[in-house]
Amino acid sequence: MNMSNCTLNITDTVLHLQTVTSIPTFILGVLGNIYILVMFCRRPRADWTYMNIYITNMAIADCILLVFLPVKIHYYDRPLENELKALCNCVLSVYYINMYVSIFNLTAISVVRYVAIKYPMKSRAILSCRNALVVCALIWFTVCSISPVYFVTDSTNDKKMCFQRVKSALSLHFILLLIIVGFLLPFLIILYCSVRVIYTLRKQLDIGTRSEKIQCMFIIAANFIVFVICFLPVHLGYFVKYAVLNEEKYSCSDEQLAHNFLHIGLSISSMNCGLDCFSYFFATKTSWNMCSTNRNEKEEHGSNYNTVSDQDSIPTT
């Protein structure tokens, strides 16, 4: 165990990056998520689909984080006062809960999109509003159950900054939990579903509008890239910081570099709240013919379960 007395601090560049990413994220996130929630609330309950439930779930999680984002911006590099520790823990908990609710929600959306496109006839029985509510409830329950583990592992840290662990890294077991369950497994699921959906749509280019299907494939690929950009750096940063802080061969400057790399990743991951709004736009467009053919076209072309069927069940988030 590296017992270096090096006190870690983020550089001015990283601090400016936090501000540059957080302020636009707050503005876009607040406007976009409020618009989505208002739009959905005005929709008759009978018109709701399972995809509306997943998107509303993400919007709620994003709004909760956005409420506390100004606190994060203000106190990110300020000394932590004793009377603010409770608020600090609350904001940290909301941040991590939001990030992993978003990751698991995006994973669920990818799975239902794959089922809807690959097995459109069977999807009617599987993809329902009730099942979507159950999945969303399980996501919140799972993430909120794991969240207290962070504060147990954080209890021995000499925390002088609310958003910075200045003396030690998280435990290896918790880091592996975050990386494997919180990122790597969802990453592989989303990758598989996205590739299979794009492959299925490519086979259907001659059915319906070709240009719209090509556009849909690009949207799916772009959403996957955004997922990787938002969440890969922070999870790589967890591991890099742990490795550097727990090896004696690394110098204080190496520890500072690893510390700053992690916080660059955290800055990028926060942008997810703003980028989600664009995903909502593509997922809720009323003309989802671009990704599918309806069941009448399906019958005309004599296709099988590989044909996309229901425009309401073809999200591209």
What is the pLDDT at residue 184?
Answer: 96
The domain that holds 307 is classified in CATH as 1.20.1070.10
- Within a domain: residue 199? yes
**What's the pLDDT score for residue 136?**
94
| Residues in contact with 164: Cβ distance below 8 Å, sequence separation at least 6, in sequence order | 8, 9, 10, 76, 77, 259, 263
CA distance 7 to 82: 20
The verdict on residue 1 lying in a domain is no
Q: Is residue 5 part of a domain?
A: no
**Residue 305 maps to a domain:** yes
Question: Looking at residue 245, what is its pLDDT?
Answer: 84
Average pLDDT for runs of 10 along the chain of length 317: 66 87 88 85 81 88 86 77 75 86 91 84 80 94 84 60 66 86 95 91 75 77 88 93 83 88 90 77 49 44 39 43
- Domain membership flag for residue 243: yes
Dihedral sign of CA atoms 61, 64, 70, 75 in order: negative
User: Rounded to the nearest 10 degrees, what angle do helices 85-118 and 272-283 cross at?
Assistant: 30
Q: What is the pLDDT of residue 90?
A: 79
Condensed to tens digits (0 to 9), the pLDDT of residues 155-192 reads: 555 566 777 765 566 778 888 888 999 999 999 999 99
How many structural domains does the chain have? 1
pLDDT of residue 264: 92
153, two tokens? 């592992």
The pLDDT score that the predictor gives to residue 236 is 95
Closest CA to 306 of 117, 45, 163, 138: 117
3 occurs within a structural domain: no
Query: What pLDDT shows up at residue 35?
Result: 85
Contact 179, 235 (CB under 8 A): yes
Which domain covers residue 48, as residue numbers? 12-313
Within a domain: residue 267? yes
Q: CA-CA-CA-CA torsion for 232, 172, 166, 77, nearest 10 degrees?
A: 30
Q: Is residue 111 part of a domain?
A: yes
H or E element, residue 259: helix 252-270
- Per-residue confidence (pLDDT) for residue 311, from 0 to 100: 41
